């Protein structure tokens, strides 16, 4: 009766056996197993679903286009960002992160934020560190919750996410002496000291990029606003960046042009 269920007779008394019809077809369709089901879909290519195949083809082209555009902008930007602890490299983070935003939710100090949409399209939504509301105490919450391995315990960055750079023309101590806020707050012994002229200098081997100095730097409130100078006197940058590759304190220009740019020969 499974064979007649879809015939015209069955349709005539559909009221009587609607439930049974589902029943019989469930049985008949039991033969249509997963793979055969897809094969059946393939066969049905002829009539209504041809349009769906056109749509699928169109979607495939759009996907390929997105990939090409993304790849092109990503290579051209060749950018580096300060990432949460445990990011092995830009490439590894980008390949593994599915933007589940768990790390963003986990960070107790709102440090981890999804990257905004920029010229570097594929990085949108992946986590970067923004020292606006706090600094990193390496609590490792972000690494602990990441389900994809984009942030992993094995990466060297679990205890070092970047390095601080003093900005000569923005740091108050470089202009007049006297300010030592960053040196006082730095939690890492010896990472930030005053040189013989009272200016902060970073020991880049010791600095771990926690960002407390950047967070606490009072330069914006001590100095008159100057559009040509960076806002703060000290910033944390990625160790792969061109800014980090230059020794000592930077000018605002060096900082701004090198902050998100990969240094020559930097880890990809």
- Residues near ligand SF4 (CB under 6 A) are 84-85, 97-103, 106-107, 109, 111-112, 127, 136-142, 145-146, 148, 150-151, 164, 186, 188, 191-192, 202, 207-213, 236
User: Which of residues 78 and 98 has its CB atom nearest to ligand SF4 in the complex?
Assistant: 98
Return the ∠ at Cα 131 (arms to 126 and 132), rounded to 5°.
105
C-alpha to C-alpha distance for 240 and 55, rounded to whole angstroms: 42
Please count the helices (runs of H) and the strands (runs of E) in the chain: 13, 6
Minimum Å gap between C-beta 227 and ligand SF4 is: 25
Nearest 5°: the CA angle 25, 31, 36 is: 115
Shortest distance in whole angstroms from residue 98 CB to ligand SF4:
4
Nearest-approach distance from CB 114 to ligand SF4, in angstroms: 7
Output the six-digit token pair for 32.
């249509």
User: From residue 88, how far is each of 53, 100, 219, 256, 268 by CA, in Å?
Assistant: 40, 18, 33, 24, 9
* Minimum CB distance to other proteins, residue 165 (Å): 20
Number of neighbouring beta carbons within 10 Å of residue 208: 20
Closer residue to other proteins in complex, CB, 79/183: 79
Torsion of CA 260, 86, 127, 94, to 10 degrees: 80
Contact partner, 213, from ligand SF4, other proteins, none, Cβ < 5-8 Å per class: ligand SF4
Select from other proteins, ligand SF4, none the partner in contact with residue 19, using the beta carbon and a kind-dependent cut-off of 5 to 8 Å: other proteins
Of these partners, other proteins, ligand SF4, none, which one is at the site of residue 57 (CB under 5 to 8 Å by kind)?
other proteins
Contacted by 211, from ligand SF4, other proteins, none: CB < 5 to 8 Å by type: ligand SF4
| Residue 1 near which of other proteins, ligand SF4, none (CB within 5-8 Å, type-dependent) | none
Question: Cα separation of 267 and 88, whole Å?
Answer: 10
Q: What is the nearest approach in angstroms of ligand SF4 to the Cβ of residue 234?
A: 7
From other proteins, ligand SF4, none, which one binds at residue 48 (CB under 5 to 8 Å depending on kind)? other proteins
CA distances from 183 to 105, 170, 177 (A): 30, 16, 13
Closest to other proteins by CB, 34 vs 221, is 34
């Amino acid at each position: 009766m499974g064979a007649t269920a879809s015939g015209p007779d069955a349709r005539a008394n559909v009221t009587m056996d609607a439930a049974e019809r589902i029943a019989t077809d469930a049985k008949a369709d039991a033969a249509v197993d997963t793979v055969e089901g897809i094969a059946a879909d393939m066969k049905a290519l002829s009539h209504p679903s041809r349009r769906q195949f056109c749509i699928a083809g169109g979607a495939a082209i759009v996907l390929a286009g997105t990939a090409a555009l993304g790849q092109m902008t990503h290579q051209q930007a060749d950018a580096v960002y300060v990432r949460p602890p445990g990011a092995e490299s830009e490439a590894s983070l980008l390949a593994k992160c599915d933007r589940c935003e768990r790390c963003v939710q986990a960070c107790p100090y709102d440090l981890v934020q999804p990257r905004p949409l920029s010229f570097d399209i594929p990085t949108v939504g992946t986590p970067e560190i923004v020292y606006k509301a706090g600094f990193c105490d390496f609590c490792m919450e972000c690494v602990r919750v990441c389900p994809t391995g984009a942030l992993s315990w094995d990466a060297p960055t679990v205890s070092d996410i970047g390095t601080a750079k003093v900005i000569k023309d923005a740091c108050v101590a470089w202009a007049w002496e006297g300010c030592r806020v960053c040196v006082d707050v730095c939690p890492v012994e010896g990472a930030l000291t005053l040189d013989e002229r009272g200016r902060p200098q970073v020991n880049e081997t010791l600095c771990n990029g926690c960002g407390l100095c950047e967070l606490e730097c009072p330069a914006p409130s001590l100095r008159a606003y100057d559009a040509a100078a960076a806002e703060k006197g000290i910033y944390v940058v990625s160790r792969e960046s061109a800014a980090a590759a230059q020794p000592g304190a930077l000018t605002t220009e060096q900082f701004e042009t090198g902050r998100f740019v990969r240094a020559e020969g930097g880890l990809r």
